[in-house]
Structure 1
Amino acid sequence: MNLLILRGKQPGCVADDRASDRSSASAGCLADDRAGKDGLRLIMALSRGLRCCQRIFSWIPVIIISCVVLWSYYAYVFELCIVTYVLMFHVCFIMFWWTYWKAIFTPPATPSKKFQLSYTDKERYELEERPDVQKQILAEIAKKLPIFTRAQSGAIRFCDRCQVLKPDRCHHCSVCETVNNCVGFSNYKFFLLFLSYSMLYCVFVASTVFQYFIKFWVGELPNASAKFHVLFLLFVALMFFVSLMFLFGYHCWLVAKNRSTLEAFSAPVFQNGPDRNGFHLGFSKNLRQVFGENKKLWFVPVFTSEGDGHYFPVRTLCESENSLLANEEKWTEDGGSDEENAGREMFVSEDENVSSLVTITNES
């Protein structure tokens, strides 16, 4: 009898144990979920805080440069008060600030929508697992676009992050600390003018303050406050001039060769292989690529650069090596008469080392 009772109670006990195990397990799962969510919230909060701190700290170089220039204005105009130089000083000062703020606040150019994959193309590309077939898909899409450069592997350059075909000379760019902005097609002219007017500003300040520095050195400058400003004006102007001189010289060389900083380190790859001078059109044409056709506006911080950042004239060593010229007959057959293909133009470069230059323009 006792055995039957025990046997009758035993399943109930087991059921109670299982229920308690399930309740404790569910409670443990809930606790783990809450802990996981709390940890995720903490990580997201820390990430937002770090991004906020990064944005704040990225403005420190700009703030320091601005403070130094404002102090130089005060020291030059209010302390020294060199009346004969004030007009020229203000011209340099205004042009410096104008170009500096244009370089800072001009947003970087981004690829247009025509370089984005359509929904069907994107679906084809993502569903395809074979890399070779993916390259073929991108190559088919790129035939409709003015893309000349390739990746090191010879494939069409594609950005997995942005899901776009990369236009020529397009890259993800790091921020230049001096201007807290990416320096690219949209603000490169402003950046060059900023460097040039910065050097002019430093040279003007140093040259006009030097005579007062000599007076300070021989003890002929009685004003103690002016002594401090004269000493540091000359020191800061010379220090900034030396640092800017090398940077400006390097970018002048890049403009003369029509290269970007990345192209200076790694030659752009075209269909026929790498070519360090692939965009080199000759010195005068290279200048016009950055500063525009109107020479009166070269030194004014308004946008006059040629093109829209998507199309760049390409130098070719031989017409037969260029895929565009090789397909000229096919274009003529598909497009009709030569009049209908008037949008295609071929220019001869001024550089003796360049045989021809090809660019595609569309008539409106």
Structure 2
Amino acid sequence: MPLASQNTKGPCFWCIKVMKWVPVLFIMTIVAWSYYAYVIQLCFLTVDSLMVKILYLIFYHISLAMFLWAYWQTVFTDIGRVPQKYRIPDVCHEQLLRAESAEEQHNILEEYSKNLPNVNVNINGAVRYCDKCRCIKPDRAHHCSVCGECVLKMDHHCPWVNNCVSFTNYKFFVLFLGYALLYCIYVALTALPYFIAFWNGKLSGVGRFHILFLFFVAVMFAISLISLFFYHCYLVSENRTTLEAFRAPIFRTGEDKHGFSLSRYNNFCEVFGDDPKKWFLPIQSSLGNGIEFPLNLHQQRTYRSMECTQNGLETNS
């Protein structure tokens, strides 16, 4: 079996694997050039005042450090994987293959998943099952075709970080967007006076072209980041993922886009944690385990009434 797995990983597999890092290398190349343009060409060779140089460099390095820290965490944090108890055993998988109807498959999956804490179902009201991973999907988990496996609370697969944005790194991703936006705005604003001086013909030397492009690149990235950052701030406040924004999660009672929404503050704490000191640091502080999620009051009452009804039927029988 190991030999067969190795044989499938030919040159094309490794070529694709390497190509996936191109967007990350592109971003790091832009950051490296911007560091040279800002620190050397702008601060050291263009800014005259020593005090201004020091202030520019201090706040620049703080914003750059936070941006790179959040980016590193987003890229290299391992995606949340489905626990073993959700995996279908070989016997159950054989039963699914031998099942003669969709209803029979549904009954097999219902029987196997009855002790799992799932509340979401698929569009047909059946257990959410991934035939590629051979597992019951936990709530809010989805199969990523790029990663090739089911991912806990999957938001989307981002090529710019070569990773799935999911339960384990969603906080880091939002901070990465926020600090990247802050970095671009800071660079653009501090480079603006020298950009204006360039257009007025008051700036000379080869470095002026670095400052010109530095300003344009910072503004361009800031414009592209601002909508994405505030969109994810909205998703955090609603306790939704990007996938759930396109298709609301389905419960036994039907679709409910507010099914996991608790309150603005509690939704924020689910992602950033309940310790304010850790909110804006790229360190793990999200609440929960990526498997079970608290429901809003409506869904809680619904499931309590369903459990009472089921218990009553079992007692009568």
Same fold (TM over 0.5): yes
Higher RCO, 1 vs 2 (CA within 8 Å, ≥6 residues apart): 2
Structure 1 residue 213: Cα displacement: 1.1
- 1:162–1:318: structure 2 CA closer, same or farther, 3 Å change rule? closer
2:243 corresponding residue in structure 1: 262
Cα distance change of structure 1 residues 46 and 114 upon mapping to structure 2, 3 Å threshold: closer
d(CA) in 1 for partners of 2:8, 2:291: 38
Structural mapping, 1:134-153, within 5 Å: 134-153=105-124
Asked whether the equivalents of residues 319 and 325 of structure 1 are also in contact (C-alpha less than 8 Å), the reply is: no
Of 154, 157, 181, 1:199 maps to 181
Question: Highest CA radius of gyration, 1 or 2?
Answer: 1
Structural mapping, 1:262-281, within 5 Å: 262-281=243-262
User: Is the contact made by 1:316 and 1:322 (CA closer than 8 Å) also made in structure 2?
Assistant: no
Name the Cα RMSD after superposition.
2.3
Structure 1 SS opposite 2:269:
helix
Q: Which runs of 4+ in 1 moved over 6 A?
A: 44-47
Q: 1:186 aligns with which of 156, 168, 179?
A: 168
Percentage of matched positions with identical amino acids: 43
2:119–2:251: 8 Å Cα contact kept in structure 1? yes
2:158 to 176, 200, 203: 176
1:145-180 per-residue CA deviation (whole Å, 9 max, x = no partner) reads: 110000000000011111110000000126311101
Structure-2 separation of matches of 1:303 and 1:328? 40
Given the alignment of the two structures, is residue 108 of structure 1 paired with residue 82 of structure 2, yes or no? no
Deviations 1:226-277 (A, max 9, x none): 2011101100000000000111111111111111111111111100111111
Distance in structure 1 (CA, Å) of the matches to 2:96 and 2:170: 34
Q: Secondary structure of the equivalent of 2:140?
A: coil
Correspondence 1:286-305 to 2 at 5 A: 286-305=267-286
Instruction: Return the TM-score normalized by structure 2.
Output: 0.85
The match for 2:193 among 195, 198, 211 is 211
* Deviation for aligned residue 1:193: 0.4
1:186 match: secondary structure? coil
Q: Does 1:67 align with 2:29?
A: yes
Shift of residue 46, structure 1, vs aligned partner: 9.9
TM superposition shift of 1:58: 1.3
Contact 1:209/1:234 (8 A) holds in 2:
yes
The aligned counterpart of 1:246 is 227
Runs of at least 5 residues in structure 2 that lack an aligned partner in the other structure: 1-5, 44-52, 145-155
Structure 1-normalised TM-score?
0.75
Give the corresponding residue for 1:35.
Answer: none
Q: Name the SS for the 1:175 alignment partner.
A: strand
Structure 1 gaps, min length 5: 1-43, 335-364
What amino acid maps onto 2:42 in structure 1? L
Contact 2:259 2:299 in 1 (8 A): no
**Rounded Cα–Cα distance in structure 2 between residues aligned with 1:321 and 1:186:** 29
